[in-house]
Amino acid sequence: MKTEEKMESEASKQAPEFGQLRQKQQQARATPDGLGFFARLRWYIWRAWLWVLLRSAEASWKRWLLIGAVLLLIVVAYLFNPIEDSPEYGLNHDFAIESAEFLPSISGATDTPFQPGNKIEIFNNGGEFYPPMLEAINQARASVTIEAYIYWGGDIGRKFAEALAARQRAGVPVRILLDAVGSSTISDEVLKTLKDAGCDVRWYHPLHWYSLNRINNRTHRKSLIVDGSVGFTGGAGIADHWLGRAENPDHWRDIQIRLEGPAVATLQSAFSRNWLETTGELISGNTFFPALNSSGTLSVQSILSSPDTGSSTVRIMYYLSIVCARKSIFIANPYFIPDKQAIKILTDAKRCGVDVKIMVSGLHNDAALARYNTTRLYGPLLEAGVEIYEYNQTMLHHKYMVCDGVWSTVGTTNFDSRSFALNDENNVCVYEKDFAAKWEEIFRGDLPACQLVTLEGWRNRGVKTRLGEWLFFLLRSQV
């Protein structure tokens, strides 16, 4: 014992800084010190309500019922709590996106290699992307797989169902994995069309009492893969509000890409893993995973993100890209709810001279919870000089980022806790100037439909907005 005590004493003397850091980390886990005002308030409320309910139960003849309710709430709070945190260390390096260190770091940190020989086409709004998606289905010869958060009824839902049913009847296996929450309102007509033809339709994480531990993990991916060689992904599901060209509030603004080449195999892999989990069936062979030859000149990184991995690879990609940017950061995302670390790296980038522009969904927003949590966080960004644009023509729903005119990413991931820590997502990343220039052109093309948010205007926002922010900030981790 004396020898061990002596060794511990010597180690403490040799590494006082490590001991202090360890102590600070332990204190951070136990107290809200160092958090912002709203975060501290939420910290106290989420812990105080359990004590209040338990004390109330002791003074009531219904105490056992109330205690049971409290225990149930504890279980629900535990199940709904995000299981992945934002990285706090390792973001203070000094290499840039255009340095030789960036791509190996992105690849290594996300455990996702770059695959050469790909071709990507960008389609704006449903008027552009639904026709080639349906055409690809009609030309399928080996297989069709779909993983979707939203597949609803309506005109476009029927068109997809009829095309998929026709392929299945022609002998092409069609497998469809739908999120049990996002696609719960799919019409009976669409389901009947698909199932009568023999299409295999399954539900990802259906709501059952015995699967409560998975209830908050949804697949937010949107992928259509044909013959294992052509893939579509982006922000859009299959529903009528994506039709048209974002000409009015009834037609959403969104983007899909068509990917052809070796990188498609990664999107198929994402489908196959969730299909295996849901059905127990392992899809394999040339039907789903053919040998893929070069189809273009782009080297592509297809990142898959899931809470099952313990850390969000898409969040890592976003944060590392932001801190490596030296010229510009353009982010277009409907649900922009940055955490404390994201706000810090964005404001630091602006103070270092980086042109930071963020485009979010404005007046037309399908999620009040997300909208109010977004506006509440404008303050520190605006104070640092970050430009925030609210897209007000219709609901903006695409999700992309372009940095330094050379690095770009597009996919299904929202810039919020739900996408980073709770949902299954996918993003496609490319390091190429001409491709990045297309995203910058799209960003600038949407600016006339936006209103620039000013610091003065934000500080003078109305009582209704402030009240909504106060009511919804407690649920920030769920959006």
Catalytic residue among 220, 357, 364, 398: 220
Q: 241, 350, 357, 397: which is the annotated catalytic residue?
A: 397
Q: How far is the C-alpha of 86 from the C-alpha of 323, rounded, in Å?
A: 14
Please answer whether residues 368 and 224 qualify as being in contact, where contact means their C-beta atoms are separated by less than 8 angstroms.
Answer: no
User: Annotated catalytic residue: which of 399, 416, 424, 446?
Assistant: 399
Nearest CA to 395 out of 282, 264, 251, 229 is that of 251
Catalytic residue among 227, 254, 339, 446: 227
Does 398 participate in catalysis according to the annotation? Answer: no
- For this structure, is 251 an active site residue? no
Residue 219 phi/psi, 5° resolution? -90, 115
Question: In angstroms, what CA-CA distances link 106 with 100, 109, 111, 112, 437?
Answer: 11, 5, 8, 8, 21
Cα distance between residue 339 and residue 421, in whole Å? 12
Burial of 31 per CB tally in 10 Å (0-12, 13-18, 19+): exposed
Q: Checking phi first, is residue 388 left (phi over 0); if not, alpha (psi -120 to 50) or beta?
A: beta
Cβ-based burial of 460 (10 A; exposed 0-12, middle 13-18, buried ≥19): exposed
314, 411 contact by CB (below 8 A): yes
Tokens representing 346? 């964005």
Catalytic residue at 208?
no
Active site residue 433: no
Catalytic, 355? Answer no
- 227 as an active site residue: the answer is yes
Q: CB 114: neighbour CB atoms within 10 A? A: 18
d(CA 231, CA 304): 14
Residue of 404, 416, 424, 446 marked active site: 404
Phi, then psi, of 190 in degrees rounded to 5: -65, -45
Catalytic residues: 220, 222, 227, 397, 399, 404
